Every structure is written in C-alpha cells, then in structure tokens.
Amino acid sequence: MKIPDTRLDATPSGSWELPEELVMLQDTVRRFMQKEVLPLEATLEHDAYEVSPALLEPLQAKAKAAGLWCFRTPVEYGGAGLSLLGQAVVAEETAKCRMGAYVPGCGAFGADAPNAIFNGSPFQIEKYAKPATERGKKVFVAISEAGGGSDPARSIRTVARRDGDRYLIKGSKMWITGAGDADWGIVFARTEGGDQRGGITCFIVDGDAPGMTTRPIKTIRSYSPYEINFDDVEVPVENRLGEEGLGFAICEKWLVEGRVPYAAATLGIAEAAMKIAVEWAKERQTFRTRLAEKQAIQWMLADSEIELRAARLLVYQAAWKGDLSQDMKLESSIAKVFATETAGRIIDRCVQILGGMGVAAELPLERWYRELRIKRIGEGPSEVQRMVVARSLLGKAGG
C-alpha cells in the first residue's frame, strides 16, 4: 500500500472531516491491529512490554508488506513520511492495544528514529538513521536531568568539552526511555561557555560508548525509563548534530512536533477503554436493571464522549497548523495538556463503571490507567504547557 500525502489544504472548506485518503489509511491500520496485533498480544502476559523476535519479525514483515512502516520517517529513508495529521490519526489507532502508546501496535510498525537525525549530515544519516529504519535499531533521546525543572533550556547541566577532534561529555540524564538496550541516542549537553538556550549542543552517542552507563528506574508502569551517566564519554566531532550552541532549536522542534502524536495516542487508549465500558454497561445488571439504564452511568459515558471529541479536534488543529508550516507551539501545548488530562479522566470513569473488574488484570483498563497517569508528565508536564498558554496570552507580563 502506498501511503498518500495527507496534508490538509491551506483553505479548508470548514469541514473537519478527514481526507478520504487518510480515512482509508486509518481503516487499514485499524484492520491490521484487529487481525494481526491484538490476537498476538492476547498470548502475552498482562504486563508484557515487548514481543519476542520469533513473533515480532513475522508481524513486522506483514506490516512492511502493507506499507505500514515507520510512519514518521521520511519516504526517502524508508518510512511512510506521514504528515503530522497522518501521524496523529495513526498514533490513535496503534495505541489501541494493551501495550498502549509506549509500544504502538506491539512494535509491528517499526520504531522511528528521532526526526532530528534527518537534519544531520549525509554521514550521520547513512550510519545512524537508515539502520534504525531498515533494521529496527533502537534509539533514545536524552534531555531531562535529575536536578533540573521542566525547562530544558535552563535545566541542562550535562556538559560537553571540546578536545581537538572530539568532545568529552560529562553529567547525567534521567527518565530516558529505551536507553538500556539502545544502539545509539541523541544527547543534549551544554557546551562550555554557553548559558541557557545559546549553550546547548546536540550529539549522537553510540549505545556502547565507553564511560556511558545506564540504570533502570522503577515506575508504576510495567517497564522502566533509565538514568544515564556520562563519565567523559568521547564523541567525535562528526557526531555533533547541527552547529555548536544551536542544539536548543533542534530540541524544541522535536518536542513541539512530537506532542501531537503523543497526545493523539492517549485518545486512542481512551477510546478503547470507552468501548469496553459501553459494552459492560449494556450487559451488566445490578438491582435488576442494566447499568446502561442508570443516569449516573449514562452521564459518565456522555461526558467522556464529549471530551474525547473535543480533544481530538484540538489535536487535529495542532497537526493542521504544523502541516502548513505555521507556528504551532501554542496549539501543540493546548492539545497535549487537554488530550492527556481528558484521557486520564475517561479511563478513571471507565474503571469506576466496571468496578472490581476495572482494576483486575483480566482487562487492560488498570494498565492503561497507570500509563495515562504518566502521560500528564512526559513530553512536558501539564503545568509547563499551561505556562506556554499563559505567556501567549499575557506576553512579557506572564514571566
């Protein structure tokens, strides 16, 4: 299947209906999930977060054959090259599995390398980007640090010192997804003499670089992010991504755009939870009547549906502006905070509707509940997104 260009026209008709090509793609992904992914996932343990190579490789081969591979990666590098709107729609569908948004489609659709790498040199793309797409190399992005707040421009204390034709990186990073077994990663460090936004540089670091160690951090999820320590880790100059001191622009672009599919994926989980709750309400009887006949349950489901639709439109709006190459920072923040908080409320209601079964491991609701709680923190917590919105309204008076 050839993935179409799914960017919205610059002068939309006023309808928020998705383009026909994107509706077809959405349906294709949905059917693939139902036919191939969900039956396989049903054979795994409740808290499993990876699929064995023996099961994953045939699954990925089917996805590749269907043209459903590395949705964010540009076409010229082996991916689908979807627009932000396309990424949002697909992220929502691929999150509708027990592994949720952390392992979309249980890994069936490959793992996109961070888009920042495609702004790199031909050497960097050939050595790092292409293998990530073609052979499923694992990658991490290291921004957050233990002693910092939620503003990466000011909180980065990891330093990179130039020493001839190499840099020496020293410091640590926290809450880094996938760092334990990654083949390489993108690390943001402060170059000497720099401060705030002007002093951050971006580097590509090999996963087995001497002096780099990782430690898993247990969380409420079934899998762990990592702490990474850098003890004078040598990075050749040719592994610097972009110009020295200009790494914050790369960081910010990656974060702003990434919040769109991130937010969309939480809505996919919420919609899947709603489906379970609706069916339960239709069938479950208490005090001689079905739950569906009780106004308290009806209103919980109604509120969830209303909020879900509103959140989806905010995500689409942010994607639309991004696809038109317009400044989408405000819309991205609005979509992220509203979608993640909405999904959290919906999953909480669904758990309540199912009562004891809502927290039982027989169903995915309690696992989704744990995941969605973290989504309000990752990719910039709700409080930071509200700061972005407030500053947009108040200007300099907002701090």
Which positions are annotated as active-site residues?
A: 379
- How deeply is 87 buried, as exposed, middle or buried, from its count of CB atoms within 10 A (0-12, 13-18, 19+)? buried
Residue pair 359/286 in contact (Cβ under 8 Å)? The answer is: no
Q: Is the dihedral of CA 320, 325, 326, 328 positive or negative?
A: positive
Nearest one of 41, 3, 45 to 25, comparing CA atoms: 3
